[in-house]
Amino acid sequence: MAEERILTINLRKELIKKPRWKKKKLAIKISREKLERYLKARVKLDRSINEKIFGSEKKFKTKLRIKVVKKDEKTFEAKLMA
């Protein structure tokens, strides 16, 4: 069975002083960097994370609960928890 973990990423500290028009793109970048730093491997973000961040009009949640599944030795896939 594949290795699974549930992680919570808080983006508030990194995004609080950024302009509104940069926050969504930075949120994707920061979440990927945090996951890669924690797991020490490449992480592929699922479409559900993109839809959660880019789907909102102006604001989005700064805490993301993410389910991470190990695909192979050096690759993980991250999905948003429902």
DSSP codes of every residue in 34-57: HHHHHHTSEEEE-HHHHHHHHTSS
CA distance 24 to 30: 10
pLDDT of residue 56: 79
> What is the residue range of 38's domain?
4-80
Token pair, residue 9, equals 């990423």
Token pair, residue 77, equals 């896939």
Residue found under tokens 């190990």: 70
CATH number, residue 60: 3.10.440.10
pLDDT tens readout for residues 23-82: 999 999 999 999 999 999 999 999 999 999 998 788 888 999 999 999 998 999 999 997
Query: Which residues have CB under 8 Å from 58's CB, separation 6+?
Result: 20
pLDDT of residue 17: 92
Our count of domains for the chain comes to 1
